[in-house]
Structure 1
Amino acid sequence: MSGGELAELISRIGDRVLPVVVQSVGGEVLTLAYANREALELTARTGYAHYYSRSMGRVRMKGEVSGNTQRVVEIRGDCDFDSLLYLVEQKGPACHMGYRTCFFRNAPGAERENVDYSLAVLRDLEDVIERRRREGGENSYTRSLFMKGREEVYKKFGEESIEVLLAQGRERIIYEGADMLYHFLVLLNLNGVKLSEIMSELSRRRR
């Protein structure tokens, strides 16, 4: 939504409360929230998602207590401008219950096809890797891997995989395994593959 369109929407919203679908920049639906004029103005001014809490009757910034903020990358309106879509960079879990998304439950009788959101740490790491690739400074190890190119990324993943195979003892396996998973996520990012796609493939194989 352009600045002019957003300003027009703010001027037209009146005393209405609009539903807001909140989606990560990676395409994952995170939650459904609500915004009135004040919330929309604060979101536009600060760049961070503010919502109208119907239960508390006030506007609040997402993550004002938990720290799990949402930086708004884009705001879109539907065809009638009576509902909104926020594309956000989520910090931490979006759900107050600690899940990556509020939509972690399956309808009774439905097949389970969604990601196991106990892997929220990996999803957060995936987001960090993407940000470091785009915005990391000179001292960013992640950015340096991407700058060195495909050969270096694949080499490091291979080295870390071997370290896991050679690790002696439970603690060492955990340590080296964490390194391997990090470098695997870097490799996935390099190839434009999301962790959710890997998890969906595993879910498909289970069926």
Structure 2
Amino acid sequence: MVIASIDIQDGKVVQLKQGEELVLRRDNALELAEEFNRYGEIAVIDLDAAMGKGSNSELVKSLLRKGQCRVGGGIKTAEQAKELVSLGAEKIIIGSVAFRVPGKKGAGIAAGEFAVQTEFLKALAGKIGRERVIVAVDARNNEITVDGWKTPTGLSLIEAAKAVEPYVSELLYTCVEREGTMNGIDLDSVKALRDSVSCGVTVAGGVSTLEEIEEISRLGCDVQLGMALYTGKISLAEAFTASLNWGKAELLPVIAQDSGGQVLMTGFADREAVAESFKRGNLCFRSRSRNTLWMKGESSGNTLRLLRLRTDCDRDALLAEVEPAGPVCHTGAWSCFETGRQYTWEFLQSIITERFRNPAPGSYTATLDDELVREKVMEEADEVCTAATHDEVVWEAADLLYFLTVLMVREGVSVREVLDELDRRHKK
């Protein structure tokens, strides 16, 4: 997996060389998150919070609504971590607090006053789940550093990694002396770290070529990109393709499903097809019988707009979330696996949206103005509450859901936004 980094300072996206020298600054964080989400998780790092110079909490919250994000920077308590998870963070990145003896802070701390904080990590894993915990093992010359890489701890990278492993799902390894330099990775250190732990490992710091991404991926590690991505030396599409496991076969299976989860079709893709899918914005495949590249819907018009592409745990199969322009199967069926389209809440909303865009003669939906639809929502809610039998509850609930969805369409609220909000509440 390839992870794009969004480092935030003073409300802007920045890239720093070795954590200090400002190399670039951009102000389009939300747009970047929407784009990066096509390729995988996003690492959102609040540099101000990490350095004790304030925070960018409101921007971080907004970014959490744009994609699958892992969040780090200045997170010092399990309660802070829990709040971020409840706001939508997929994982939490813990840094200095994992290694600092409580009460000791600031540069110049004497050697011996740092140690792996197992009790804190145990409490954190209990609060949000081990599967959501990432510990940043930032190291300079294989020694853990904290305080934005300014303070050496005297702790060995490998020994610290082994000590935190029972409490985490993943380690984020940054080779500090190479961070932001694009001078290449310290592959020997990566291999040593990978061999010492069984949890996940993400590598950052100095990655500058597709060959390095392939090397890191072959070791079973993920790659986090920053400077090389923002300077245009590597594109996310190229990086994603390079990170896949092409060692088993030249073609990888691709499963296409819509946003509601209905599987639409399967096909196969080679490197070119993956690259073209990102380039065109529509899902492409490699024909096994003709050995040609083809885009789904090229002749019929029933394209599959690519929303995001994800890989499985072995990086040898792909899951494409798509928006179909029409029936997917060559038989005319909506899906190659089912004759009809699954009736989901998303499908209901798409029908209502179309009724407003292109009102059909006699369409009741098109007559529902703001005042009327609000009256109907209140009316149907009352009828649900007074329904006396199982069948009556089903009938009235269907009416309520219909009118509620009409109101959502009028207000520009998507089903996904509502479900994401419920998911955030579930995580609290």
User: TM-score w.r.t. structure 2 length?
Assistant: 0.29
Give percent identity, aligned residues only. 33
Distance in 2 separating the partners of 1:81 and 1:140: 43
**What SS does structure 2 have at the residue aligned with 1:55?**
coil
Aligned to 1:58: 292
Unaligned runs of 5+ in 2: 1-38, 41-228, 230-234, 360-364, 379-398, 409-413, 416-428
* 1:7 and 2:225 correspond: no
Return the letter of the residue paired with 2:264: L
- Could you tell me how far 1:151 is from its partner in structure 2? 2.0
Q: Of 78, 88, 106, which aligns to 2:322?
A: 88
Deviations 1:164-194 (A, max 9, x none): xxxxxxxxxxxxxxxxxxx99954745898x
Unaligned runs of 5+ in 1: 105-115, 156-182, 194-207
1:123-138, aligned counterparts within 5 Å?
A: 126=348, 128-129=350-351
Aligned to 1:160: none
* 1:23 and 2:257 correspond: yes
- Could you tell me how far 1:55 is from its partner in structure 2? 1.5
Distance in 1 separating the partners of 2:302 and 2:346: 11
Q: 1:88 to 1:41 in 2, by over 3 A?
A: same
Return the letter of the residue paired with 2:288: R
Distance in 1 separating the partners of 2:372 and 2:270: 46
Query: Is 1:91–1:124's contact at 8 Å kept on the other side of the alignment?
Result: no
- Could you tell me how far 1:10 is from its partner in structure 2? 1.3
Q: 1:19 to 1:149 in 2, by over 3 A?
A: farther
**What SS does structure 2 have at the residue aligned with 1:30?**
strand
Deviations 1:19-50 (A, max 9, x none): 00100011111111111111111111111111
* 1:78 and 2:312 correspond: yes
Figure out how many residues of one structure are paired with residues of the other and give that number: 151
Query: Is 1:48–1:70's contact at 8 Å kept on the other side of the alignment?
Result: yes
* 1:100 and 2:316 correspond: no
Query: Is 1:51–1:61's contact at 8 Å kept on the other side of the alignment?
Result: yes
Higher helix share: 1
Distance in 2 separating the partners of 1:30 and 1:146: 35
Deviations 1:35-84 (A, max 9, x none): 11111111111111111111211111100011110001111111111100
Aligned to 2:374: 151
Query: Is 2:302–2:325's contact at 8 Å kept on the other side of the alignment?
Result: yes
Structure number, greater radius of gyration: 2
**What SS does structure 2 have at the residue aligned with 1:72?**
strand
Distance in 2 separating the partners of 1:130 and 1:86: 25
